Chain A
Amino acid sequence: MTRSFLARTPSVLIFLAALAVFTLAITLLSEGFGAGLISTSFVKTLGKTLCLCLVALAMDLVWGYAGILSLGHMAFFALGGYMIGMWLMYARTEEIVVTALAQGGLPATPEEVQQGIATQIFGVVGSSELPAIWTFAHSLPLQLTLALSVPGLLALVFGWLAFRARVTGVYLSILTQAMTLALALYLFQNDSGLRGNNGLSGLQNLPGLTDTSQDLVSVWFFWASALALGLGYLALAWVVSGKFGSVIRAIRDDEARVRFLGYPVEAYKLFVFTLTALVATLAGVLYYPQAGIINPAELAPIASIYLAVWVAIGGRGRLYGAVIGAGFVSLLSSLFTSGRLPDIPLGPVSIAWVDWWLVILGFSFVAVTLLAPKGIGGLFDRFLHIGTPDRKGAPLGPDDGSLQEQEAQE
């Protein structure tokens, strides 16, 4: 117990080293800083993938460790994206508007600039008023504070309501899914103040850096994403390594028993839920400037379910599993849906990967759930000779934890 955190969890060092090597390699191969062997769009894809790995880490903590199958974490992710997107769009539009107004002969008044920005941004939904939620959009620090506090508060309030009512298991999953759907439907409206289904766009253009090539910007964001992932991994590994980690794993395995032992189960769950929501938000803040566009479809419940799929395929209950799952599946996904793979001719019909990829994903997901509950991470166990205890034989009764045939005889 006296050993240091890093000594107890050697996987953290291995992971950080691998991430550092990967980052260095990509940087050296990128168009912005190195040999130019990797296209800028692929660097962006990799940067986005790192952000997805970060949100998968959060999902793993809340699901794999604490046993809360949240189908709402992509909502926090997208909310973060919206918040940073508001600043990016506002600041960028401001530059354009000020330049345009200066052509008119008089220097612009603040009111005119405000009006110009509002018309520019909201003309598409037939409005020329800047909604109240854009009050802080002019300032990066304020908007960043909002970006973290709004999803954080949402998670806190929602989690408090849900855990207080002792909503658990599939009920909680459905409830988080409902929250996501409610948020998505709300944002789809034109009068939500976030441009309805048009969403926010042009986020890849950083204000004040109009002359900087996207080659450089993409690598910067890649670095930021890698840094965030590394720090996030370190922080979450530290959170789950100590006593706190033991308690939340215990809550996952038998909530009632932990409650009877005197632990405030709801407080632990609420903390984990909110913390992971914040990590997801941070990932979103880094993801959407690289994606360039955000719209309410990003919040659809399906996105959160894919997140669960990544974590399940990668392996729950181990942080590197989540990272591997998210990276592997999302990269595979973008490969198959890119349309670059040739169709498979099958006599009269040909099978397009774009059409059938989701079918493959769906069924392989079922297969992983059925046959390899540990996911890809389970391969490491086999490599390290860690197995599940063999309890021999089928269970005697349908209840949880009933004795197995052999145990009963002993």
Chain B
Amino acid sequence: MALLFRTHLRLAKTSIKENRTRSFLTCLGIAIGIASIILILSLTGSISRLISEEISDVGADLIVVRPSTNKDTVTNLVEELTSSSDYSKSNLDVADIASIAKIEDVDAVAPVAISSNTVTDDDNTVASATILGTTTDFISINPLTLRYGAFITDKNKENSIVVGHLLSLLLFNTSNPVGRTLTFHGQRFIVVGVLEEVEDTINFNNVDFNNALIIDIDVLSTLMSSIQIQQINVKVSATSALETVSNSIREVLTTNHSGDTNFSVAYGEAITHPAGSLLSIISGMLSVVAGVSLVVGGIGVMNIMLVSVAERTHEIGIRKAVGASSQNILMQFMLESLILSILGGLLGIVLGYIMAFLVSIITPFTPYISLEIIAITLSTSIAVGILFGTYPAIKAATKNPIDSLKHYR
């Protein structure tokens, strides 16, 4: 059996080599499908890896509360996609923060409320800068470091502000504007601190800290008519308390919201998932496209194998006459389509990573290479080979030897 397998492997190699262009084009069909799957998996993988790395930096003692209308329903996702506002409407309010802070074992609570407004200093104006409203606990939960100055404290939170690195350059033309003032919404603030430049702009807060201002949430809520709390980060005293605290949060918020469970409470790995609800829609859609192109590639394999079987009818007749059984012929053609699809798969993996690296040049993603992804895509291409190689192989195997012998090219 093993000997026959080797013989068939060599036969398939010869046949693929002889029809080099044809085989290459067939492989390319598979490769494009596999490459798009690789691209999607490596990019989404890189995002969730970034976020989970950050969470491990933050510590395992983090709970994130996020608003959600109706978790994971299609209409919700579509709404989110089609809504014109930059930030989705939140069901969380300032009262919730206070409620959560009262729960036992909760060390720190930091909301993330996002707004945007025009910011001016004496010389420069930045239109629509991101303004992050939070509490003084924020710095103890998030792994942010300050380049200059200090974070907002309870004493100075009325008129203090922390500036992101790039925004500081834009507004003040210096990286150290501590002590200078800026104005937005008619109120003057003193810069008390500047954030260290953040390299990865993707994080579980969904905030680009390089271009953000950080002020106290109470100040923000007095300035703006309504604020949207995008999420509430909760730090617990011990990881063992994660489950009980998150249950308590659920209870408290359900009472606050008069029975509605229009929020989600997550800790550990689960934090990364909602971060990309939009991302997951996009990657889902891309996966469908990739799947379709893979099916097209598979049909290409089937097509070429059918041509190959027709071309080699005479050969099949000869092989049967000298002693090949139907199973032998089946195996020969099956192996050939398998090799085509595996070659396509390998080519696709290489192509996919080249594409991922190209994308990483213009975006903050770093391509995520894992054996898991390679295993998934390779087994997908093997499955395609088997799926689309079976029919031509059966067709070859069931050919009548006498008729086949009469058949000429």
A binds B: no
